[in-house]
Protein backbone atom coordinates (compact mmCIF):
# COMPACT_ATOMS: atom_id res chain seq x y z
CA UNK A 1 0.00 0.00 0.00
CA UNK A 2 1.29 3.43 -0.92
CA UNK A 3 1.26 5.79 2.06
CA UNK A 4 1.99 9.53 2.36
CA UNK A 5 5.32 10.41 3.90
CA UNK A 6 5.13 11.79 7.42
CA UNK A 7 7.35 13.41 10.00
CA UNK A 8 7.38 13.15 13.80
CA UNK A 9 8.80 15.99 15.87
CA UNK A 10 9.19 16.09 19.65
CA UNK A 11 9.09 19.29 21.70
CA UNK A 12 12.87 19.18 22.12
CA UNK A 13 13.35 19.18 18.34
CA UNK A 14 14.15 15.49 17.82
CA UNK A 15 12.81 14.41 14.41
CA UNK A 16 11.79 11.02 12.99
CA UNK A 17 10.61 10.02 9.52
CA UNK A 18 7.99 7.54 8.39
CA UNK A 19 4.63 7.21 6.68
CA UNK A 20 1.10 8.24 7.59
CA UNK A 21 -1.47 5.53 8.35
CA UNK A 22 -4.85 5.29 10.02
CA UNK A 23 -6.84 8.53 10.04
CA UNK A 24 -5.36 11.48 8.16
CA UNK A 25 -6.40 14.61 10.10
CA UNK A 26 -7.39 17.61 8.02
CA UNK A 27 -4.87 19.78 9.89
CA UNK A 28 -2.13 17.49 8.59
CA UNK A 29 -0.88 16.55 12.07
CA UNK A 30 -1.88 15.39 15.54
CA UNK A 31 -0.36 16.38 18.88
CA UNK A 32 0.00 14.73 22.27
CA UNK A 33 2.40 13.40 24.87
CA UNK A 34 4.59 10.57 23.55
CA UNK A 35 4.97 7.46 25.72
CA UNK A 36 6.14 3.95 24.89
CA UNK A 37 4.50 0.61 25.68
CA UNK A 38 6.60 -2.58 25.88
CA UNK A 39 3.78 -5.17 25.62
CA UNK A 40 4.29 -7.81 22.93
CA UNK A 41 0.56 -8.21 22.27
CA UNK A 42 -2.75 -6.64 23.24
CA UNK A 43 -2.40 -3.60 21.00
CA UNK A 44 -6.17 -3.17 20.62
CA UNK A 45 -6.76 -3.22 24.38
CA UNK A 46 -3.93 -0.70 24.80
CA UNK A 47 -5.26 1.64 22.11
CA UNK A 48 -8.78 1.56 23.60
CA UNK A 49 -7.65 2.03 27.22
CA UNK A 50 -9.05 5.43 28.33
CA UNK A 51 -5.95 5.97 30.47
CA UNK A 52 -4.10 6.97 27.28
CA UNK A 53 -6.23 10.08 26.74
CA UNK A 54 -3.98 12.94 25.67
CA UNK A 55 -1.11 10.61 24.77
CA UNK A 56 0.49 9.13 21.64
CA UNK A 57 1.50 5.50 22.04
CA UNK A 58 4.85 4.33 20.66
CA UNK A 59 4.82 0.52 20.45
CA UNK A 60 8.23 -1.03 21.10
CA UNK A 61 7.19 -4.38 19.62
CA UNK A 62 8.22 -4.16 15.94
CA UNK A 63 5.17 -5.92 14.44
CA UNK A 64 1.74 -4.54 15.32
CA UNK A 65 -1.62 -5.61 13.87
CA UNK A 66 -0.62 -9.16 12.91
CA UNK A 67 -3.70 -10.79 14.48
CA UNK A 68 -6.23 -8.13 13.45
CA UNK A 69 -8.96 -6.63 15.61
CA UNK A 70 -12.24 -7.75 17.16
CA UNK A 71 -14.87 -5.83 19.12
CA UNK A 72 -14.42 -8.43 21.88
CA UNK A 73 -11.06 -6.83 22.75
CA UNK A 74 -12.24 -3.22 23.07
CA UNK A 75 -11.65 -1.72 26.52
CA UNK A 76 -13.96 1.23 25.84
CA UNK A 77 -16.45 2.39 23.23
CA UNK A 78 -13.69 4.18 21.31
CA UNK A 79 -9.97 4.93 21.56
CA UNK A 80 -9.06 8.01 23.58
CA UNK A 81 -5.36 8.15 22.69
CA UNK A 82 -4.22 10.93 20.34
CA UNK A 83 -2.33 8.61 18.00
CA UNK A 84 -0.07 5.58 17.63
CA UNK A 85 3.47 5.07 16.32
CA UNK A 86 4.44 1.71 14.83
CA UNK A 87 7.54 0.22 13.26
CA UNK A 88 5.74 -2.23 10.96
CA UNK A 89 1.96 -2.34 10.60
CA UNK A 90 0.63 -5.69 9.39
CA UNK A 91 -1.77 -5.36 6.48
CA UNK A 92 -2.65 -9.08 6.34
CA UNK A 93 -3.81 -10.16 9.83
CA UNK A 94 -4.13 -13.87 10.55
CA UNK A 95 -6.35 -14.99 13.42
CA UNK A 96 -9.67 -16.83 13.62
CA UNK A 97 -11.08 -14.09 15.90
CA UNK A 98 -10.15 -11.25 13.55
CA UNK A 99 -12.98 -9.12 12.18
CA UNK A 100 -10.76 -6.64 10.34
CA UNK A 101 -7.30 -5.11 10.26
CA UNK A 102 -5.83 -2.48 12.55
CA UNK A 103 -5.45 0.18 9.87
CA UNK A 104 -9.20 0.00 9.12
CA UNK A 105 -9.91 0.15 12.87
CA UNK A 106 -7.81 3.30 13.27
CA UNK A 107 -9.45 4.99 10.29
CA UNK A 108 -12.92 4.09 11.57
CA UNK A 109 -12.18 5.64 14.97
CA UNK A 110 -10.29 8.62 13.49
CA UNK A 111 -7.01 7.77 15.20
CA UNK A 112 -3.90 9.01 13.40
CA UNK A 113 -0.95 6.65 13.05
CA UNK A 114 2.62 6.81 11.81
CA UNK A 115 4.41 3.70 10.57
CA UNK A 116 7.90 2.86 9.39
CA UNK A 117 9.34 4.81 12.32
CA UNK A 118 12.58 3.81 14.05
CA UNK A 119 10.65 3.06 17.25
CA UNK A 120 13.79 1.76 18.97
CA UNK A 121 15.48 5.16 18.58
CA UNK A 122 12.28 6.93 19.66
CA UNK A 123 12.02 4.72 22.76
CA UNK A 124 15.64 5.32 23.71
CA UNK A 125 15.09 9.08 23.32
CA UNK A 126 12.03 9.01 25.59
CA UNK A 127 13.92 6.92 28.17
CA UNK A 128 16.75 9.47 28.17
CA UNK A 129 14.63 12.63 28.13
CA UNK A 130 11.30 11.52 29.62
CA UNK A 131 7.80 11.53 28.15
CA UNK A 132 7.65 14.49 25.77
CA UNK A 133 4.87 16.34 23.98
CA UNK A 134 5.15 16.59 20.23
CA UNK A 135 3.41 16.12 16.91
CA UNK A 136 3.40 13.91 13.85
CA UNK A 137 1.65 14.04 10.53
CA UNK A 138 1.64 14.05 6.76
CA UNK A 139 1.28 17.82 6.43
CA UNK A 140 3.91 20.48 5.85
CA UNK A 141 6.93 19.52 8.00
CA UNK A 142 7.29 23.13 9.13
CA UNK A 143 3.70 23.11 10.41
CA UNK A 144 4.33 19.85 12.24
CA UNK A 145 7.41 21.40 13.88
CA UNK A 146 5.43 24.46 15.02
CA UNK A 147 2.69 22.18 16.41
CA UNK A 148 5.29 20.14 18.30
CA UNK A 149 6.71 23.25 19.94
CA UNK A 150 3.29 24.18 21.37
CA UNK A 151 1.99 20.67 22.12
CA UNK A 152 0.86 19.91 25.68
CA UNK A 153 1.79 17.08 27.99
CA UNK A 154 -0.54 15.73 30.68
CA UNK A 155 0.82 17.85 33.55
CA UNK A 156 -1.91 19.57 35.59
CA UNK A 157 -4.62 18.35 33.20
CA UNK A 158 -7.96 16.87 34.23
CA UNK A 159 -8.56 14.37 31.43
CA UNK A 160 -10.95 12.28 33.49
CA UNK A 161 -13.98 14.41 32.63
CA UNK A 162 -13.46 13.66 28.94
CA UNK A 163 -13.51 9.85 29.31
CA UNK A 164 -15.92 9.12 32.17
CA UNK A 165 -19.41 7.73 31.56
CA UNK A 166 -22.09 10.39 31.24
CA UNK A 167 -24.82 8.29 32.89
CA UNK A 168 -24.73 5.54 35.54
CA UNK A 169 -25.14 1.91 34.48
CA UNK A 170 -25.28 -1.45 36.24
CA UNK A 171 -23.56 -4.77 35.51
CA UNK A 172 -23.73 -8.11 37.32
CA UNK A 173 -26.39 -9.43 39.68
CA UNK A 174 -24.52 -10.44 42.82
CA UNK A 175 -25.91 -9.99 46.31
CA UNK A 176 -23.16 -7.51 47.14
CA UNK A 177 -23.51 -4.02 45.68
CA UNK A 178 -20.44 -2.06 44.58
CA UNK A 179 -20.32 1.53 43.38
CA UNK A 180 -17.48 2.07 40.89
CA UNK A 181 -16.36 5.64 40.31
CA UNK A 182 -15.48 5.81 36.62
CA UNK A 183 -12.34 7.85 36.03
CA UNK A 184 -11.78 6.00 32.73
CA UNK A 185 -12.71 2.45 33.68
CA UNK A 186 -11.71 -0.42 31.38
CA UNK A 187 -14.24 -3.00 30.19
CA UNK A 188 -12.15 -5.86 31.59
CA UNK A 189 -12.21 -4.16 34.99
CA UNK A 190 -16.00 -3.92 34.89
CA UNK A 191 -16.22 -7.61 33.89
CA UNK A 192 -14.01 -8.71 36.77
CA UNK A 193 -16.18 -6.78 39.23
CA UNK A 194 -19.46 -7.97 37.66
CA UNK A 195 -18.39 -11.60 38.02
CA UNK A 196 -18.36 -11.09 41.78
CA UNK A 197 -20.77 -8.23 42.56
CA UNK A 198 -23.65 -6.12 41.33
CA UNK A 199 -21.80 -3.03 40.11
CA UNK A 200 -23.18 0.46 39.59
CA UNK A 201 -20.71 2.46 37.50
CA UNK A 202 -21.13 6.21 38.06
CA UNK A 203 -19.58 9.36 36.52
CA UNK A 204 -16.43 10.80 38.05
CA UNK A 205 -18.41 13.91 39.08
CA UNK A 206 -20.68 11.90 41.40
CA UNK A 207 -20.75 13.46 44.88
CA UNK A 208 -20.23 11.64 48.16
CA UNK A 209 -23.90 12.12 49.06
CA UNK A 210 -24.96 10.65 45.71
CA UNK A 211 -22.75 7.63 46.35
CA UNK A 212 -24.23 7.16 49.84
CA UNK A 213 -27.74 7.35 48.38
CA UNK A 214 -26.93 4.22 46.36
CA UNK A 215 -26.30 2.29 49.64
CA UNK A 216 -23.15 0.52 48.46
CA UNK A 217 -21.49 -2.34 50.32
CA UNK A 218 -18.17 -1.24 48.87
CA UNK A 219 -16.53 1.43 46.74
CA UNK A 220 -14.23 0.94 43.75
CA UNK A 221 -11.95 3.64 42.30
CA UNK A 222 -11.00 2.97 38.68
CA UNK A 223 -8.04 3.69 36.45
CA UNK A 224 -7.98 6.84 34.34
CA UNK A 225 -5.83 9.41 32.49
CA UNK A 226 -4.09 12.64 33.38
CA UNK A 227 -2.48 14.18 36.42
CA UNK A 228 -3.94 13.04 39.78
CA UNK A 229 -2.86 16.32 41.36
CA UNK A 230 -5.42 18.09 39.13
CA UNK A 231 -8.33 16.09 40.60
CA UNK A 232 -8.93 17.85 43.92
CA UNK A 233 -12.72 17.49 43.72
CA UNK A 234 -12.46 13.72 43.24
CA UNK A 235 -10.01 13.43 46.13
CA UNK A 236 -12.42 15.26 48.42
CA UNK A 237 -15.17 12.78 47.53
CA UNK A 238 -12.86 9.88 48.42
CA UNK A 239 -11.89 11.61 51.69
CA UNK A 240 -15.57 11.96 52.60
CA UNK A 241 -16.29 8.28 51.91
CA UNK A 242 -13.10 6.86 53.38
CA UNK A 243 -13.80 4.52 56.27
CA UNK A 244 -17.55 4.32 55.67
CA UNK A 245 -17.36 1.24 53.39
CA UNK A 246 -14.51 -1.00 52.19
CA UNK A 247 -12.66 0.60 49.29
CA UNK A 248 -10.44 -0.76 46.50
CA UNK A 249 -8.53 1.46 44.06
CA UNK A 250 -6.57 0.71 40.90
CA UNK A 251 -4.04 2.92 39.05
CA UNK A 252 -5.46 6.48 39.10
CA UNK A 253 -7.85 5.25 41.80
CA UNK A 254 -4.77 4.24 43.81
CA UNK A 255 -3.27 7.70 43.41
CA UNK A 256 -6.50 9.41 44.49
CA UNK A 257 -6.83 7.15 47.52
CA UNK A 258 -3.23 7.91 48.50
CA UNK A 259 -3.96 11.63 48.32
CA UNK A 260 -7.01 11.07 50.53
CA UNK A 261 -4.65 9.30 52.97
CA UNK A 262 -2.48 12.42 53.07
CA UNK A 263 -0.02 11.45 50.34
CA UNK A 264 1.27 13.31 47.31
CA UNK A 265 2.03 12.32 43.72
CA UNK A 266 4.78 13.08 41.22
CA UNK A 267 5.39 12.47 37.53
CA UNK A 268 7.67 9.61 36.55
CA UNK A 269 10.27 10.35 33.86
CA UNK A 270 8.70 8.08 31.22
CA UNK A 271 6.08 6.17 33.16
CA UNK A 272 5.33 2.46 33.35
CA UNK A 273 3.58 1.11 30.26
CA UNK A 274 3.75 -2.61 29.57
CA UNK A 275 2.80 -6.10 30.68
CA UNK A 276 5.93 -7.45 32.36
CA UNK A 277 6.65 -5.31 35.45
CA UNK A 278 7.80 -7.32 38.51
CA UNK A 279 6.11 -6.34 41.78
CA UNK A 280 6.89 -7.46 45.32
CA UNK A 281 4.10 -8.00 47.87
CA UNK A 282 5.90 -6.83 51.01
CA UNK A 283 3.64 -8.80 53.36
CA UNK A 284 4.19 -12.19 51.72
CA UNK A 285 7.37 -11.76 49.71
CA UNK A 286 5.50 -13.00 46.66
CA UNK A 287 6.62 -11.67 43.26
CA UNK A 288 3.96 -10.86 40.67
CA UNK A 289 4.42 -9.99 37.00
CA UNK A 290 1.97 -7.21 36.26
CA UNK A 291 0.43 -5.03 33.56
CA UNK A 292 0.97 -1.30 34.05
CA UNK A 293 -0.05 1.98 32.46
CA UNK A 294 0.66 5.16 34.38
CA UNK A 295 2.83 8.27 34.24
CA UNK A 296 2.41 9.33 37.87
CA UNK A 297 3.25 7.69 41.20
CA UNK A 298 3.01 8.27 44.95
CA UNK A 299 5.77 10.21 46.68
CA UNK A 300 7.68 7.93 49.11
CA UNK A 301 7.01 8.59 52.81
CA UNK A 302 4.22 11.06 52.00
CA UNK A 303 1.30 9.05 53.44
CA UNK A 304 -0.14 10.45 56.67
CA UNK A 305 -1.63 7.03 57.43
CA UNK A 306 -1.64 3.58 55.91
CA UNK A 307 1.32 1.47 54.85
CA UNK A 308 3.07 0.61 51.60
CA UNK A 309 2.10 -2.93 50.58
CA UNK A 310 3.73 -3.40 47.15
CA UNK A 311 6.80 -2.00 45.38
CA UNK A 312 8.11 -2.13 41.82
CA UNK A 313 11.27 -4.23 41.63
CA UNK A 314 12.59 -2.27 38.63
CA UNK A 315 12.75 1.15 40.27
CA UNK A 316 11.28 0.89 43.79
CA UNK A 317 8.15 2.92 42.97
CA UNK A 318 5.23 2.45 45.38
CA UNK A 319 2.80 0.00 43.75
CA UNK A 320 0.30 -0.60 46.53
CA UNK A 321 -0.93 0.74 49.87
CA UNK A 322 -3.36 -0.40 52.53
CA UNK A 323 -5.00 1.14 55.57
CA UNK A 324 -6.77 -1.49 57.70
CA UNK A 325 -8.24 1.18 59.97
CA UNK A 326 -9.93 2.75 56.95
CA UNK A 327 -10.80 -0.64 55.39
CA UNK A 328 -9.13 0.22 52.11
CA UNK A 329 -6.33 -0.86 49.83
CA UNK A 330 -5.11 0.00 46.34
CA UNK A 331 -2.56 -0.94 43.72
CA UNK A 332 -0.84 1.12 41.06
CA UNK A 333 -0.81 -1.71 38.52
CA UNK A 334 -3.66 -3.48 36.66
CA UNK A 335 -4.80 -6.76 38.25
CA UNK A 336 -7.61 -7.09 35.68
CA UNK A 337 -4.84 -7.48 33.06
CA UNK A 338 -6.38 -6.52 29.75
CA UNK A 339 -3.85 -7.30 28.31
CA UNK A 340 -1.27 -8.90 30.55
CA UNK A 341 -0.59 -11.70 33.06
CA UNK A 342 -3.24 -12.74 35.56
CA UNK A 343 -0.92 -13.01 38.58
CA UNK A 344 -2.72 -10.25 40.48
CA UNK A 345 -6.39 -11.06 39.82
CA UNK A 346 -6.60 -12.48 43.35
CA UNK A 347 -6.93 -8.86 44.50
CA UNK A 348 -10.57 -8.85 43.39
CA UNK A 349 -11.12 -11.80 45.73
CA UNK A 350 -9.35 -9.89 48.50
CA UNK A 351 -11.83 -7.07 47.97
CA UNK A 352 -14.73 -9.55 48.12
CA UNK A 353 -13.37 -10.92 51.41
CA UNK A 354 -13.28 -7.39 52.86
CA UNK A 355 -16.94 -6.93 51.98
CA UNK A 356 -18.29 -10.03 53.69
CA UNK A 357 -18.00 -8.78 57.29
CA UNK A 358 -19.17 -5.35 56.13
CA UNK A 359 -22.39 -6.76 54.71
CA UNK A 360 -23.06 -8.74 57.91
CA UNK A 361 -22.61 -5.53 59.89
CA UNK A 362 -25.33 -3.83 57.89
Closest C-alpha among 86, 20, 19, 9 to residue 47: 86
Distance in angstroms (rounded) separating the CA atoms of residues 12 and 149:
8
Tell me whether residue 258 is one of the annotated catalytic residues.
no
List alpha helices for the chain, DSSP H: 43-47, 102-108, 119-129, 141-150, 160-163, 187-194, 208-213, 232-241, 252-260, 346-361
Of the listed 254, 294, 310, 334, which one is catalytic? 334
- Strand partners for 287: 280
Q: Is 336 noted as a catalytic residue in this protein? A: yes
Alpha-carbon distances, residue 31 vs 5, 51, 54, 56, 65 (angstroms): 17, 17, 8, 8, 23
DSSP 138: S
Q: Which of 81, 251, 258, 328 is catalytic?
A: 251
Catalytic member of 33, 45, 75, 336: 336
- Residues 222 and 201: their CA atoms lie apart, in Å, by 10
Task: Specify whether the CB–CB gap between 196 and 154 falls below 8 A.
Answer: no
125 tagged catalytic: no
Catalytic annotation, residues: 251, 334, 336
Amino acid sequence: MSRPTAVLVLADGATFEGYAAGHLPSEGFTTGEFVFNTALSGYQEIITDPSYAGQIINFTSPHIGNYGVTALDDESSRPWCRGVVIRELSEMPSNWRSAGNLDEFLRHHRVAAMVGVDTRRLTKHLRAHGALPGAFGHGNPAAVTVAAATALGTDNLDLVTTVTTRTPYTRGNGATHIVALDYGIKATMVRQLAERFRVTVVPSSTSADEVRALSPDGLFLSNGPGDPAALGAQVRVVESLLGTVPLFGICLGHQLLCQALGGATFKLPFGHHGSNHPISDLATGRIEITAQNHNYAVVPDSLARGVVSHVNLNDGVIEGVSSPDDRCFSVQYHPEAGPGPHDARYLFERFAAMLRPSREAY
